[in-house]
Amino acid sequence: MYLFNTTFYIDDAVMNAWQEWYRATYLPLMLSSGGFSDPLVYKVHSLHDEEGSSSIAVQFTVQTMDDIQQWEAETSQRVKLLMTGIFGETVLHFWTVLEPLS
């Protein structure tokens, strides 16, 4: 089992629009892409938060690396294009895959 994490760096001026996009577009797209389940959303805090922006982490449970690789091949570019088409550089993101250690 893995956690697929996307961390978004969001300009506060577009936060409400991003939240709507997350609920209406990102979440359904990720859940329908196969293998992604149990979404969790967190506000990221740091010791040096910058005024005017927020960081949000969204995590999905994924059972296999094959599911992640399939998502990368079939869906990741679509997510990037949808997001940059709407938000440009006011929303940045990066993806990480987390594996639990015993």
**Global pTM?**
0.89
- Average pLDDT along the chain: 93
Question: Which CATH number belongs to the domain containing residue 53 in this structure?
Answer: 3.30.70.100
Inter-CA distances, 27 with 20, 33, 46, 50, Å = 10, 10, 25, 26
Given a cut of 80, whether residue 60 has pLDDT beyond it is yes
Q: How many domains does the chain have?
A: 1
Q: State what percent of residues in the chain have pLDDT above 70.
A: 99
The beta-strand segments (E) located in 28-86 are 36-44, 53-62
pLDDT tens sequence across 12-54? 999 999 999 999 999 999 999 889 999 999 999 987 767 888 9
Does 51 or 1 have the greater pLDDT score?
A: 1
Domain housing 17: 2-98
